[in-house]
Chain A
């Protein structure tokens, strides 16, 4: 479903060229929940932005559902993003002038279609993320946890092929983080939603089927729930 081949991304800082991703090869199956971990500057967020089409690679291929993202122009990437991808940001990125409902509906409006069916779906999503009764409340008046729920609903509103999440619990306390991760798990299990989540938090990563560890722009280690030492690895990491 997601195939990444020899993915490289360089940045110019002044006269100096820094290679953030040094040739990544990665495959993520449909319906898989993958967590990407690694220290700051290891390249995990860069990978997520490349997967979202917010950035373009210096070299290599990104395939999502057999579509080469790196071969699309800017407009094609934008349209692909709004039709096929959902994105959850660390700082929620809600539009302060819009209500909860309007924020969730935004990707559909951007696509120019808001059918009755979609409207019902928005209400269902509001219900499923636990924000009943807050439809018409301005998003910036909600708590951090509530805002992240809105962001998740917004990311799911277009039935995305992949849900990308960048530190979705980074700004939340443990209890709130658990609730948000619970939502991720719920959608992953109920709808077989493919999720790629970048996180610093091993607790959050523990919700994933597979953890990919990044170090200095390359994949350092991949641990799967199916692996025999998965639980031990997590325990050691937490310790």
Chain B
């Protein structure tokens, strides 16, 4: 006796092999796309977590100062405390590489961190070559390559001394350095040296910048007692928190790619729906016979459900491994775009499990309606079909009315507008297809002769299915165009945001707090028109509303100070901030915190644990919004951070380079960083520009996936029209004419999809550019290169998709096709 599984298997593999294959291909691609995103996202998070964990190592707390360094005596009691199991002393010092090649001071600037034990468990350094012998310096592989140094080679530092390279290590956050000279203009190199050596070079004997230590248990008691004992001094203690959100916003980028993955699932799901729905319609007679033989409604539905389960299983079995491979390639591309010199291990276990569940479920979810419909087949199905025809006219009118209604959402500035516009595109596409086919008839006639005209007529036979297919292509194109426009606009948006919130033209950071004399000297520079001090307390640990530990910076602001955030009520916010225990959060910090305005946020300030009322959330370019702002007076008096290591200069734009050189020359002994607003714009926008290429690849994949839908639809149309194609052949249509007819149908679907997609994309870009929710971040523009690619790829891939069906149609046996009638 045949099992129901075997019957279902035969149904999907015997009836329409090509259709089965194309549907399976769509499931495989959809599943692999989602798998790739899940694997890439998880792996990327793990990579950043790994590097963050490597940075914090086994340390539980660290003792820092709001001055550059402090006396080792301040922490001698901690070193002797029985609750402390390990300590690491570090001193940071700015220096310059002494190089044979010609590079500016700016490019040669290097921060040397002297540590008392390079092998400490509180410091994890993955050695590639050499050893951590506490005698020489430790550099990353990227720096070694750039400087052309090997283990044992000598590196010289201007006015300090020289040391041999004792170890070359993998990328680590502590030693994050530029990998090319271009990036070296705005980012300092970082290397590790023995503490004693650095002290000898600098004369800062007995001084440290910070101490890390590990405790038995959680060390909470010691932490609180030290917090109390450091009160009133420049020294303060912070728990060590692994939080890298201030230095990267890669999570936000994945939101972007998840939208595309969702789109691919939607397109694949639609292809599955189309296939199974047509299959059910074709087999109504078969179902009716089954029911007449005693099959129940649920038994018939079960038969179709099992067919879908089999397809989903095969699709998942192939799609998931393929997706893992895609994910690996995607991470490589992403890390290269963002110039991260990171080593990663693919984390596929959990994402694979999730992908298997998604890959298995979504084809079934998309086919639920046809499955139900199969079971509902009436024994008097012929009569029912006659009734359905009347109903479908009403359905067309309803579809158009609802479509127009949803399109009106473009006038509403709300996120739901996007969903409404996309839904309206699907609903209105039959009208668009009818209109476009009339417009294109003369063109098709000139290209394909009479088969071109027949193609336009044929499209009306299954107008909903053909329109849905074109609509899916249109939605794919429009969403990618929108995302592409966002990516293209983002540099301008970021630049606008950076320039309006940077607070000046140049930010100069020193190891020592800036004195009044320094400021006077700076104001004497002919190109410098203004100098404003900036106090940034970092690192400051804080708690989310769910009591998660996080870490960011708190920056001082005042009404007469530099403008560091953008808000319409900027003046009111400055005024409100003068109230005690108040703070403003950057948008990303606010999101991560999870609370509401008016609630309090707990922070470990240099003056101990404190709560601050969050009075607002603002947009700022500083640390990509993962930051807090506090009134300058409150930061000093209440928070306990008194020094300013940064100055914001307003500089004549023509004299930026000369000013930078002069700064290094005059303050080189304590200057640690000079960054211009242009540097900040460049470093923020360069990676985004690189994402354009990824977007183009995504566009091609989405159009390819939608074209699989076109191939599937045309194949179904061909099989349904066997009788008519047979008749045409009998009446004298050659095989070539049949092929041309199907190609013209594919071209029309593809062209409609592309035109509809471009039009919808432009509407979405316009809506986004005008949206107050985006705060002018995106400007209205035509993403010309993406539009051209969409047109070429859309038309070409649609023709390729049609070619499959045209081959099938031209090979149909005339006699058996005629019998279909």
Contact = CB atoms under 8 A, between A and B. Distances in A.
B731 interface: yes
Interface string B443-455: 0000001100100
Which of B458, B726, B732 has the most chain A CB atoms inside 10 A of its CB? B732
A52 B730 contact: yes
Contacts of B736: 75
A111 B734 contact: no
A55 B729 contact: no
B732 to A, nearest CB: 2
B814 interface: yes
B134 to A, nearest CB: 86
B458 A93 contact: no
Given A78-B733, A78-B734, A91-B821, A110 B815 contact: no
Given A79-B732, A81-B730, A93 B821 contact: yes
B818 A107 contact: no
A82 B821 contact: no
B728 A110 contact: yes
B818 A93 contact: yes
A95 B724 CA distance: 6
> What 8 A-B pairs are tightest by C-beta distance, nearest first?
A82-B732, A109-B450, A97-B457, A93-B727, A110-B732, A78-B734, A110-B733, A54-B814
B499 to A, nearest CB: 61
Which of B726, B731, B821 has the most chain A CB atoms inside 10 A of its CB? B731
A97 B734 contact: no
Contacts of A82: 731-733
Given A54-B815, A89-B818, A91-B821, A110 B731 contact: yes
Contacts of B449: 112
A111 B733 CA distance: 8
B268 interface: no
B457 A98 contact: yes
Nearest to A91: B821
Which of B450, B730, B736, B821 has the most chain A CB atoms inside 10 A of its CB? B730
Interface string B779-821: 0000000000000000000000000000000000011001001
B460 interface: yes
Given A54-B814, A112-B449, A78 B729 contact: yes
Contact of B815 (A49, A96, A97): A49
Contacts of B726: 93
Which of A49, A55, A106 has the most chain B CB atoms inside 10 A of its CB? A106
A87 interface: yes
Contacts of B821: 89, 91, 93
B137 to A, nearest CB: 80
Contact of B730 (A87, A96, A97): A87
Contacts of A93: 723, 726-727, 730, 818, 821
Nearest to A76: B734
A149 interface: no
A110 B725 CA distance: 13
Contacts of A30: none
Contact of A75 (B458, B461, B734): B734
13 contacts: A54-B814, A54-B815, A75-B734, A78-B729, A83-B732, A89-B727, A93-B818, A95-B728, A96-B724, A97-B460, A98-B457, A109-B450, A110-B737
Contacts of A75: 734-736
Contact of A87 (B457, B460, B731, B733): B731
Contacts of B457: 97-98
Contacts of A81: 730-732
A106 B461 contact: no
B393 to A, nearest CB: 15
Interface string A111-122: 110000000000
A107 B458 contact: no
A111 B732 CA distance: 8
A81 B732 CA distance: 6
A74 interface: yes
A52 B815 CA distance: 11
